[in-house]
């Protein structure tokens, strides 16, 4: 019995593939799968890549750090849990070659280093990828250090009491993220030489690190131990908690991609629902006949379900292949700011794709398909005995539940899925009303067109046809207008918004940052720069410090859960001291320091004597940071600066103007506290075009000072934005295609009626050309209305961005109002016209038996 179901299903599916509704169904499913798998494949690779990279950046799956060497006992416990251990020691020390001295950040690694990844090292034969540290007796310097003390491969440098041979220039360390980490240049050496340097002394600031690599199970096993260690003041970094956060832009892109992908799935679902309707209508006769020959209701449902499931599986495979191609395209578009090479695509997304296709089928076709069960065998004798179509609320209800489930699955959050579903429905209902008004207006205007031109006539007739199918037309209008809107927004954000924002910055907004100005260079630098620049910010002293405690607790435990991975806790912060509130800052809560002590005029060298005062220091914190970390006035923060701990209390919260391109600080100390620690200065200035020569002079006169060009940074921002938006655009194209599939499905659903209409037109004397034009005009009108609505939405959204984000008066985008409606009319007109080609060919036959079956 079941055998025959399969055979019947397979056979009729094969034949059915030629039917327009089955094709529409197929295309829609392919698009749904392509959109969802493309994004799933990509995000899956990204996730796994990040996980792997997290381990690599940390240097292991678990990293412990403390001021003293680790005990044998701890090592044994970890090894028994299944970890491989590697030792690392970090310290800052002066190194020298000949007369040149330079503080450097030393990193001593053992022979197991690195657990993961490779270092990029030039050992004289170009940059190589090396999975080890320098051997004993040798050291690798980073390019900055090499430049500062003028060393080359083969030179010997003095490190503490020993000499090491520079055997390589290290471009990139295996366990360090890109970007500027330490301000001191790097020297990497072997732990075997550490003893000989004599730098490991009680009291000197040394960090001992134990890097452990092991499976997740091992990590699980030692959680209790880790908690204990944390309480003992050991810094514990766990790969699963301290994984690097995606860059903001990328994270945004990720959620946009996800949303756009689901939009495509939703549209495809609508297309599926429409074409299923026609599919079922077409098969009612078959069903009645099968019933007549003794098939049970169950068998009918089985046969047709099998058929559609077969279709869905084929669509899944094709869609997944397209998704695979799409994700590599996405990857290619985003390549330059993915910080790593990604692992190859996994199999998971494929299942996800198949699951998506089947869900869309069940949710959007299910209720309609069940209608086939209701067919009466008597229909073979009495044609008109068609079962009633399922109630609209049932179709919409089931589809919403299934789509909500998909939202949940993809977003991973039930409240978010629910909010999206409810909010989305409300928004759609609103848009439905607006577009209904718009379409009515447009159609009325078209009917008033006068003149006898063929095209005018075609538009009048096309408008009337559109009016007859207004409900379906409205659905398509909504789909296209939202897609057009999204596309317009992307183009606007990329071009208009960024340019506008940049244009509104004052002429003399700083275009250069100078960092790492050593105290000794300060005056010389000022003298070199001051006469040649338009504006210059204060020189801010900068000291690096790490938050070690908040209100007496480990920071991780004191902040809200979602802030645990915050950069401010993971990295050292740049601290400064000021007696006056910096320009562009505003105290929003508490009090700015009351001037007490005069700032000290002298600057200390590296690693000066520890400061002796241990009383609580008032500080000022940026309000955004405070909000993220859940901090308020009166909260106590302990900073580790140099080898000291400083207990501070938040006395004021400040808001900053990040647009000012002045140095901005999250945390400001009062004068008299940080002066004794190693610090450098930072400033920003605006260099007029004709003075660009200064840059070269500064680079050669102050080699230790880094100059950052703001224009270049903005250029990078623009690049990133371009790439992200390209990626989103790619997905939007899929959304647009899904919209076209809705159009196609609607076209097939209305086929018999359309054939009838064309037949009538023909009877009344319209030629092929006229009929073809009428169809083109109908879709062009639809496209025009969609473009118009899209433009309205885009203009409103940009106006909101202008007002609330850029603080500018909104302006009208004439281009938008021209491009979208006209482009939409052309695009949809041409596509709709092309899709109805087969219909036009059938029209003559249909016109004979006006109500003939298609």
Stretch binding another protein (CB under 8 A), from 1-9, 481-489, 512-520, 539-547: 1-9
Pick the closer one to another protein by CB: 308 or 777.
Answer: 308
User: Shortest Cβ distance from residue 19 to another protein (Å)?
Assistant: 8
Residue 171: helix, strand or coil by DSSP? strand
Interface with another protein, residue 4, by CB under 8 A? yes
Stretch binding another protein (CB under 8 A), from 7-15, 136-144, 146-154, 777-785: 7-15
Pick the closer one to another protein by CB: 17 or 445.
Answer: 17
Report residue 799 CA to chain centroid gap: 24
Interface with another protein, residue 292, by CB under 8 A? yes
Stretch binding another protein (CB under 8 A), from 292-300, 562-570, 574-582, 789-797: 292-300
Cα–Cα distance, 252 to 231 (Å, whole number)? 36
Stretch binding another protein (CB under 8 A), from 15-23, 482-490, 709-717, 772-780: 15-23
User: Which residue from 131, 181, 233, 298 is in contact with another protein, where contact means CB under 8 A?
Assistant: 298
User: Shortest Cβ distance from residue 411 to another protein (Å)?
Assistant: 41
Interface with another protein, residue 444, by CB under 8 A? no
User: Which residue from 206, 295, 357, 398 is in contact with another protein, where contact means CB under 8 A?
Assistant: 295
User: Which residue from 66, 177, 182, 286 is in contact with another protein, where contact means CB under 8 A?
Assistant: 286
* C-beta atoms surrounding 680 within 10 Å: 24
Q: Bridge-partner residues for 586, per DSSP?
A: 655
Pick the closer one to another protein by CB: 10 or 524.
Answer: 10
- Two tokens, residue 311: 């279709």
Cα–Cα distance, 637 to 640 (Å, whole number)? 10
Cα–Cα distance, 172 to 129 (Å, whole number)? 9
Interface with another protein, residue 297, by CB under 8 A? yes
* C-beta atoms surrounding 137 within 10 Å: 15
Distances (CA, A) of 811 to 500, 797, 814: 10, 12, 9
Report residue 836 CA to chain centroid gap: 39
Cα–Cα distance, 572 to 544 (Å, whole number)? 6
User: Shortest Cβ distance from residue 13 to another protein (Å)?
Assistant: 10
Q: Which of residues 346-405 bind another protein (CB under 8 A)?
A: 376-378, 380-382
Contacts of 666 (CB under 8 A, 6+ apart): 568, 573, 574, 621, 622, 625
Q: Which of residues 413-432 bind another protein (CB under 8 A)?
A: none
Pick the closer one to another protein by CB: 293 or 393.
Answer: 293
Stretch binding another protein (CB under 8 A), from 5-13, 229-237, 475-483, 627-635: 5-13
Residue 577: helix, strand or coil by DSSP? strand
Stretch binding another protein (CB under 8 A), from 208-216, 245-253, 287-295, 321-329: 287-295
Pick the closer one to another protein by CB: 517 or 846.
Answer: 846
SS (H, E, C) 504-527: CCCCCCCCEEEEEECHHHHHHHHH
Query: By CB under 8 A, how many residues form the interface with another protein?
Result: 28
Q: What is the DSSP letter of 673?
A: S
Burial annotation 260-288 (CB, 10 A radius, 16+ → b, else e): bbbbbbbbbbbbbbbbbbbbbbbbbebbb
User: Shortest Cβ distance from residue 365 to another protein (Å)?
Assistant: 19
Pick the closer one to another protein by CB: 301 or 797.
Answer: 301
Interface with another protein, residue 23, by CB under 8 A? no
User: Which residue from 200, 289, 493, 633 is in contact with another protein, where contact means CB under 8 A?
Assistant: 289
Number of residues in the chain: 854
User: Shortest Cβ distance from residue 21 to another protein (Å)?
Assistant: 12
Cβ pair 614, 623 in contact under 8 A: no
Contacts of 676 (CB under 8 A, 6+ apart): 604, 608, 609, 610, 611
Gyration radius of the chain's alpha carbons? 34
User: Shortest Cβ distance from residue 277 to another protein (Å)?
Assistant: 18
Q: Which of residues 246-285 bind another protein (CB under 8 A)?
A: 285
Interface with another protein, residue 7, by CB under 8 A? yes
Interface with another protein, residue 290, by CB under 8 A? yes
- Two tokens, residue 127: 């940059």
Cα–Cα distance, 122 to 108 (Å, whole number)? 18
Helices (H), 371-413: 392-411
User: Shortest Cβ distance from residue 14 to another protein (Å)?
Assistant: 9
User: Shortest Cβ distance from residue 801 to another protein (Å)?
Assistant: 54
Q: How far apart are the first and last CA of the chain?
A: 32
User: Shortest Cβ distance from residue 292 to another protein (Å)?
Assistant: 6
Residues that bind another protein (CB under 8 A): 1, 4, 7-8, 11-12, 15-16, 19, 285-286, 289-299, 376-378, 380-382
């Amino acid at each position: 019995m079941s055998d025959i179901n399969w055979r019947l299903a397979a056979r009729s599916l094969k034949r059915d593939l030629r039917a327009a509704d089955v094709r529409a169904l197929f295309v829609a499913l392919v698009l749904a799968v392509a959109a969802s798998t493309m994004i799933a494949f990509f995000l899956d690779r990204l996730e796994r890549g990040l996980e792997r990279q997290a381990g690599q950046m940390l240097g292991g799956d678990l990293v412990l750090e403390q001021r003293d060497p680790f005990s044998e006992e701890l090592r044994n416990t970890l090894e028994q849990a299944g970890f491989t251990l590697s030792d690392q020691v970090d310290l800052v020390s002066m190194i020298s070659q000949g007369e040149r001295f330079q503080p450097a950040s030393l990193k001593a690694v053992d022979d197991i280093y690195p657990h993961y990844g490779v270092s990029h090292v030039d050992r004289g034969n170009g940059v190589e990828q090396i999975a080890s540290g320098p051997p004993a007796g040798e050291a690798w310097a980073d390019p900055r250090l090499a430049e500062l003390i003028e060393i080359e491969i083969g030179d010997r440098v003095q490190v503490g009491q020993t000499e090491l041979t520079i055997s390589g220039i290290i471009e990139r360390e295996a366990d360090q993220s890109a970007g500027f980490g330490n301000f001191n240049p790097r020297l990497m050496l072997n732990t075997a030489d550490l003893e000989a340097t004599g730098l490991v002394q009680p009291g000197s600031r040394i960090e001992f690190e134990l890097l452990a690599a092991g499976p997740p199970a091992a990590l699980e096993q030692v959680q209790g131990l880790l908690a204990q260690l944390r309480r003992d003041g050991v810094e514990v970094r766990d790969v699963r908690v301290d994984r690097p956060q995606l860059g903001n832009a990328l994270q945004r892109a990720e959620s946009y991609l996800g949303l756009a992908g689901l939009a495509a799935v939703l549209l495809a679902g609508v297309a599926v629902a429409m074409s299923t309707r026609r599919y079922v209508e077409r098969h009612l006769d078959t069903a009645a006949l099968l019933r007549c020959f003794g098939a049970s209701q169950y068998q009918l449902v089985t046969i047709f379900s099998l058929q559609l499931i077969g279709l869905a599986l084929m669509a899944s495979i094709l869609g997944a292949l397209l998704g695979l191609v799409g994700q590599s395209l996405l990857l290619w578009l985003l390549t330059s700011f993915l910080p790593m090479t990604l692992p190859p695509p996994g199999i998971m997304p494929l299942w996800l794709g198949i699951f998506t296709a089947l869900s869309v089928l069940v949710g959007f076709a299910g209720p309609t398909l069940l209608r086939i069960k209701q067919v009466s065998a008597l229909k073979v004798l009495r044609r008109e005995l068609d079962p009633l179509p399922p109630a609209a609320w049932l179709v919409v209800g089931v589809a919403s539940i299934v789509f909500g489930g998909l939202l949940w699955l993809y977003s991973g959050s039930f409240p978010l899925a629910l909010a999206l579903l409810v909010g989305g429905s409300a928004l759609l209902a609103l848009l439905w009303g607006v577009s209904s008004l718009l379409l009515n207006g447009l159609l009325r205007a078209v009917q008033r067109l006068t003149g006898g031109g063929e095209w005018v006539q075609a538009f009048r007739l096309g408008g009337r046809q559109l009016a007859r199918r207004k409900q379906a037309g409205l659905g398509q209008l909504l789909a296209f207008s939202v897609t057009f809107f999204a596309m317009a927004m992307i183009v606007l954000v990329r071009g208009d918004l960024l340019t506008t924002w940049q244009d509104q910055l004052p002429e003399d907004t700083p275009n250069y940052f100078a960092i790492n100005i050593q105290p000794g260079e300060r005056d010389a630098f000022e003298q070199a720069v001051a006469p040649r620049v338009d504006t210059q910010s204060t020189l801010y002293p900068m000291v690096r410090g790490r938050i070690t405690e908040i209100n007496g607790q480990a920071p991780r435990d004191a902040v809200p859960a979602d802030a645990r991975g915050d950069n401010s806790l993971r990295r050292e912060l740049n601290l400064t001291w000021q007696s006056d509130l910096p320009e562009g800052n505003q105290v929003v809560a508490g009090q700015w320091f009351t001037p007490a002590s005069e700032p000290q005029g002298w600057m200390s060298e590296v690693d000066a004597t520890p400061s002796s005062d241990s009383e609580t220091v008032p500080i000022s914190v940026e309000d955004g940071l405070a909000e993220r970390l859940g901090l308020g006035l009166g909260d106590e923060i302990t900073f580790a600066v140099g080898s000291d701990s400083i207990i501070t209390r938040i006395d004021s919260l400040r808001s900053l103007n990040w647009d000012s391109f002045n140095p901005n600080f999250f945390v400001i100390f009062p004068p008299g506290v940080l002066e004794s620690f190693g610090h450098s200065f930072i400033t920003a200035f605006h260099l007029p075009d004709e003075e660009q020569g200064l840059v070269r002079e500064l680079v050669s006169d102050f080699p230790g000072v880094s100059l950052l060009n703001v224009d270049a940074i903005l250029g990078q921002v623009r690049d990133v934005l371009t790439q992200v938006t390209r990626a989103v655009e790619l997905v939007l194209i899929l959304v647009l295609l899904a919209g076209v599939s809705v159009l196609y499905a609607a076209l097939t659903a209305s086929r018999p009626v359309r054939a009838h209409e064309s037949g009538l037109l023909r009877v009344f004397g319209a030629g092929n050309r006229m009929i073809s034009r009428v169809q083109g005009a109908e879709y062009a009108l639809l496209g025009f209305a969609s473009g118009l609505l899209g433009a309205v939405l885009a203009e409103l959204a940009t106006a909101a961005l202008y007002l609330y984000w850029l603080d500018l008066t909104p302006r009208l985008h004439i281009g938008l109002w021209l491009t979208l409606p006209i482009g939409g009319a052309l695009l949809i007109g041409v596509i709709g016209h092309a899709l109805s080609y087969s219909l036009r060919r059938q029209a003559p036959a249909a016109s004979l038996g006006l109500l003939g079956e298609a």
